[in-house]
Amino acid sequence: MRLLSWLQRIFAGLGLCLAVVTLLPIDRLWLQATSGPWNDPKGDILVVLGGDSLPDMIGLSSYWRSVYAARIWREGGFSQIVVSGGQAGVGAVIAEQMREFLVFRGVPASVVLLETQSRSTRENAVYAAKLLSGMPGRKVLLTSDYHMFRAYRAFRKAGVQIEPRPFPDAAKRIEGWRHRWDVFLELSTEGAKSIYYYGRGWI
| pLDDT-above-90 percentage for the chain | 69
Q: What is the mean pLDDT of residues 109-122?
A: 96
Question: Could you tell me which residue, 90 or 104, shows the higher pLDDT?
Answer: 104
Dist CA 35 CA 27 (whole Å): 12
What is the structure's pLDDT at 54?
83
Flag whether pLDDT at 21 surpasses 60. Answer: no
Among 14, 42, 59, 66, which Cα is nearest to 181's?
Answer: 14
Q: What is the mean pLDDT of residues 7-28?
A: 62
pLDDT tens-digit profile of 118-169? 999 999 999 999 999 989 999 999 999 999 999 999 999 999 999 999 999 9
Contacts of 67 (CB under 8 A, 6+ apart): 105
Q: How distant, in Å, are the alpha carbons of 66, 98, 153 from that of 94?
A: 11, 6, 22
* Predicted TM-score (pTM) of this structure: 0.88
Which range, of 5-19, 51-65, 102-116, 185-199, averages the lowest pLDDT? 5-19
Flag whether pLDDT at 49 surpasses 60. Answer: yes
Flag whether pLDDT at 18 surpasses 60. Answer: no
Please report the domains of the chain, with CATH numbers, ordered by start residue: 37-169 (3.40.50.620)
What mean pLDDT value characterizes the chain?
89
What are residue 144's DSSP bridge partners? Answer: 167
Range among 44-58, 168-182, 189-203 rated most confident = 189-203
What is the structure's pLDDT at 55?
79
pLDDT band at residue 187 using 50, 70 and 90 as cut-offs: very high
What is the structure's pLDDT at 24?
59
Our separate counts of H helices and E strands in the chain read: 8, 7
What is the structure's pLDDT at 177?
80
Range among 3-17, 18-32, 129-143 rated most confident = 129-143
Question: Could you tell me which residue, 52 or 197, shows the higher pLDDT?
Answer: 197
What is the structure's pLDDT at 56?
79
What is the structure's pLDDT at 100?
95
Give first-to-last CA distance, the chain, whole Å: 47
